[in-house]
Structure 1
């Protein structure tokens, strides 16, 4: 049986790494500027967020849509064996360097795990298992090993497989959806659009009007859905959708998200 990793964020077992290691700039998503390696002003001594219940109201919407895919607890409790950056400042720099690497590896595992559940992916199932085994092995490395991981090279190998899976899934859609990969669809009027089986990988759908759109079996990996209006949209069967994408969009009780993700609480 393949090793099962928890790819869901468990903040209680993390040392607030996303609140320290990552930088952010004052914008609509963040109320202040913060440099990488600088603790967020809202981070408490016990590594909890002091405004967690009011992040959106306090101007930190970016925090509500961030997902580490479980990398935080993996680095905190696994890679560094429970030694935190406050009590062990000598490991802080290396911990903050490793966290983004682990996060990217866990994201790849998220997509690989989903791909392995899709019946049309059968022709490349062996390759998916091999790729997953490789990424799992990398996540188990020590701090120095993780810092040396060539993430772009790993992404390239995995992405070739995910592209093939996407083609196999979308090939089963009558009429085959349009290729809008990386398209600039910011603010696009797509109300009621038939986007079944569309390739929307990396598309910019910021503030797009997707009310009532049919996105069944569409590939949404890396698509930017910030403030996209998904009210009444059908995303059942859409592939490579993450919870953070849904969290960043607007939806309601009539939106049909992928069954594995459910509906965000703020919709």
Structure 2
């Protein structure tokens, strides 16, 4: 499962959708991001944290409320949970949990913990909100567009940027909320790169990067996709070429069709 590891950072990648779970070890705390998917994968993360934690507090950061990103919550009952205010206030929590139950029932999956929607202990309400834990600093930015409750998180002094379901190298923008909000979130890439010394960008799906030009390329590619899809819809043109270079075409076509339906309603 280990996609990348150094002394302070371990990135796990699930076999499903190349979904990442990140463990950050500082002298002050352990930070866990979006634990997922399969029981054995989550048990691997549990064992790693149990080995390194000592007497340090464990924080779980949820980048957004998609069910695949919260599926491992119940395995870490002692953790302090951080998420956005919109994440906390969702009215469809039971529907999200039902998606997990449907997945588990569909594949005869048993979990050693109960499935529930995360209870948020620290609520993020605005851009550049910070949390200081000893020498560890977490800075949060609201990241809407994919969903309406997303977060970017920068962990310093390590220079780790947790991007949630943005800036992936294996996915074009999956837009469940609003394409204009998605564009505004992409503009925050420039702000973050100006305000922070970023060493690692970790997307929710796909490969992490340490290259600034690669981060900017992913920003450009996502922005171009949205603008070109909007133009194709307005002019009645076919847009299949926009996803021609992405792998897993049978799945990608369905997400692309979902984007078209959503953006048609935005006109």
Give the structure-2-normalised TM-score: 0.24
| Greater relative CO (CA pairs within 8 A, separation 6+) | 2
Structure index of larger Rg: 1
Give the structure-1-normalised TM-score: 0.24
Q: 1 or 2, which has the higher strand percentage?
A: 2
